[in-house]
Structure 1
Amino acid sequence: MSLLDVRGLTVRTDDGRTLVDDLSFTVDTGERLGLIGESGSGKSLTTLAVLGLLPDGMTATGSVELAGTQIVGAPEKRLTALRGRDAAVVFQEPLTALDPLMRVGRLIAEPLARRTGLKGRALRTGVAEALARVRLPDPERIARAFPHEISGGQRQRVALAMALACEPSLLIADEPTTALDVSVQAEMLELLDTLVREREMAVLCVSHDLAVVAKVTDRALVMKDGRAVEEGPVLDVIGTPRAAYTKALVAGARKLESALDLRSAP
C-alpha cells in the first residue's frame, strides 16, 4: 500500500467552480514526487487537501489516504494527530507561516515535545540539535530570536527544522525556495535533498521551477487547470515531454535560462 494514495480528488468552491478535477496519484514510502505547473494549476490546493487544510469555501471529494487514514471527511481531531507525525509541510514564505509572536526555539520545541515527551534541559538540547541539523549557525542565538529578527534563508531553515522535528513519513515542500535569492536557493535545495535522503523520507514537492523539481524528486506530475496532463520519471518528463503543455513549460524555462545567461555574460 502506498504511503499517500490520492484517487479522484476534486476540489470545488461553494459557488460551484472546480479547482482540482479528478486527480489521482500515489507516493510510496521513500519516493519523491514533484507537482509541476503554473500558478493557478491546482498544485498548492492539492497539498492542502492532502493535509485537510482547505480554506473555508472549498470542499474536497474523492479519496485521499495518508498512512492508511482517509483524509477527506475526517474529523479535525484525527487530522491534527496526523499533521507533523505522518506528514509535515514547508510553505513558500516562512515569515507568514511562522508565528511572529513566538521565539524560534519555542516554535520547534512544541512539536518536538509532543513527539518525544522531552522537557527542560533535554528539550532545549533537542531544539539546538534540530537547528544545527539544518546547518544554522549559533543555534542557541537563533533559538532566542523572533522570526523577523533572522534572514529569509534562516527562516526557511527554521521552517524545515520544524517540519522534520516529528520525523514525518511524508514531507510536503510547497515552493520551498521561491522567496529566496539564487545562491540561498541552491544551498536550501542541497540541504533538503540531503536531509530527506538520510531519513529515507517521502517528498511531495510543489513548484513551477523545473530545476527545483529535477533536483529533489524522482517522478513528476504536470498539472494544468486542476487536472493531470502528464506523469512519469522526472528526467523523462522534463527531457522528453509528451504533452503540449509540458513542452511549453520546458521551452519557457529554457528561454528564461538563456536570457539570464546572456544578462550575466560580461
Structure 2
Amino acid sequence: MTFLDVRGLTVRTAEGRVLVDDLSFTVSGGERLGLIGESGSGKSLTTLALLGLLPSGMTATGSVELAGTQIVGATERALTSVRGRDAAVVFQEPLTALDPLMRVGRQIAEPLARRRGLRGAALRDAVGDMLAQVRLPEPERVSHAFPHEISGGQRQRVALAMALACDPGLLIADEPTTALDVSVQAEMLDLLDTLVRERGMAVIFVSHDLAVVARVTDRALVMKDGRAVETGTVHDLVRSPRAEYTKSLVAGARRLEAALDLRSPR
C-alpha cells in the first residue's frame, strides 16, 4: 500500500529559480527509500517539502500525498496534524531541532502529551521508555540535562526518540549521522535499522554517501541539480549503475565498503 505519493514536485525560490524539478516517487508502507546526491542536489529541500517545512520564500507545486493528506497547499492546521503522527523527521544537527533552554525529558514529553494524551506518572514512564529504546545510558541524568550538556551522539538519539514518540508511519532521516564520528555513526545506523524494523515503519534516508544508504535502505533515488538521475534497488545501483553520476557515487562507496560494511539487499 502506498504511504507517500509524490508527483511532479517542484520547489522554487521567490525569484522563480527551480531548486527541485518535477520529482516523482512513491514510498510504500514499511519500505525504505534512500535519497542520495551531493550537497545542493535538492534532496534536503525535497524532504522539507514533504512536511510543508520549506523556508520562507520558497514554494512547492505538484502533489505530495502523505497517508491520504495532500501536503502541497495544505493549511498549517492540517500540516500540524500530520507532523509527528504520520511522518516525523530527524535532522543532521540535532542542536537545530532541540530547544537549548528546555531539558531533554520535557522535549520528549511534549509530543507524548500532545499526541497520546499522557500525563503524570504515565508520561514520565513513557519518556523513560523512549530514552531506553534509543539506548541512552543513564536515562535519568539525560532526561534532566539540557542539550548542550550531552554529547552529539546522545543529542541525535534524543532527536530520534522525539521523532519516534508518536509512532509515525514514516521516518525521514536527513543526514542523521554525518556530524558523528565513524564509530558513533555505525552505532546510530544499527540503532535506526533495528528500531525501524521492529516498528515496521517506512523510511526516507537522505545522504550523500551510497555506502551509508545501503546499510539501511532497500531502494534509492539518485538526485543531481534538483532532478532524479536514476532510481532502483540498492543492489542494482551498486552492481549496475547506468548514469555517469551514479557510477561516480558507486566508485566512492566501494572505497568505503570495508569500513562501512556495505551490504547486499536483505
Q: TM-score w.r.t. structure 1 length? A: 0.95
* Residue of structure 2 in register with 1:105 after alignment: 105
Within 5 Å, give how 1:128-143 maps onto structure 2.
128-143=128-143
Structure 2 CA distance, aligned partners of 1:5 and 1:252? 31
Q: Give the match's secondary structure for 2:2.
A: coil
* Residue of structure 1 in register with 2:61 after alignment: 61
* Residue of structure 2 in register with 1:82 after alignment: 82
The alpha carbon displacement at 1:115 in A equals 2.0
Structure 2 CA distance, aligned partners of 1:103 and 1:191? 23
* Residue of structure 1 in register with 2:32 after alignment: 32
* Residue of structure 1 in register with 2:13 after alignment: 13
The alpha carbon displacement at 1:252 in A equals 3.1
Cα deviation code 1:71-99 (max 9, x no counterpart):
00000000011000000000000012111
Within 5 Å, give how 1:1-266 maps onto structure 2.
1-255=1-255
Structure 2 CA distance, aligned partners of 1:156 and 1:212? 17
Is the Cα–Cα contact under 8 Å of residues 211 and 254 in structure 2 kept in the other structure? no
Q: Structure 2: give runs of 5+ residues left out of the alignment.
A: 261-266
Structure 1 CA distance, aligned partners of 2:252 and 2:88? 31
Residue 249 of structure 1 aligns with an amino acid whose one-letter code is L
Residue 197 of structure 1 aligns with an amino acid whose one-letter code is R
Cα deviation code 1:26-69 (max 9, x no counterpart):
00000000001000000000000000000011100000000011
The alpha carbon displacement at 1:257 in A equals 6.5
Using the TM superposition, name which of 250-259 and 97-106 deviates more: 250-259
Structure 1 CA distance, aligned partners of 2:182 and 2:249? 20
Structure 2 CA distance, aligned partners of 1:235 and 1:25? 18
Cα deviation code 1:89-140 (max 9, x no counterpart):
0000001211101100011000011122111111111100100000001111
Residue 236 of structure 1 aligns with an amino acid whose one-letter code is D
Structure 2 CA distance, aligned partners of 1:259 and 1:153? 19
CA change 1:259–1:199 in 2 (3 A) is closer
Q: Give the match's secondary structure for 2:230.
A: strand
Q: Figure out how many residues of one structure are paired with residues of the other and give that number.
A: 260
Residue 228 of structure 2 aligns with an amino acid whose one-letter code is A
Structure 2 CA distance, aligned partners of 1:48 and 1:197? 24
Structure 2 CA distance, aligned partners of 1:193 and 1:236? 21
* Residue of structure 2 in register with 1:263 after alignment: none
The alpha carbon displacement at 1:259 in A equals 11
Cα deviation code 1:228-261 (max 9, x no counterpart):
010011121122211111001222333567999x
Structure 2 CA distance, aligned partners of 1:256 and 1:197? 25
Using the TM superposition, name which of 251-260 and 14-23 deviates more: 251-260
Identity %: 82
Structure 1 CA distance, aligned partners of 2:222 and 2:46? 12
CA change 1:259–1:188 in 2 (3 A) is closer
Structure 2 CA distance, aligned partners of 1:231 and 1:75? 32
CA change 1:251–1:114 in 2 (3 A) is same
Q: What is the root-mean-square deviation in Å for CA atoms of aligned residues?
A: 1.5
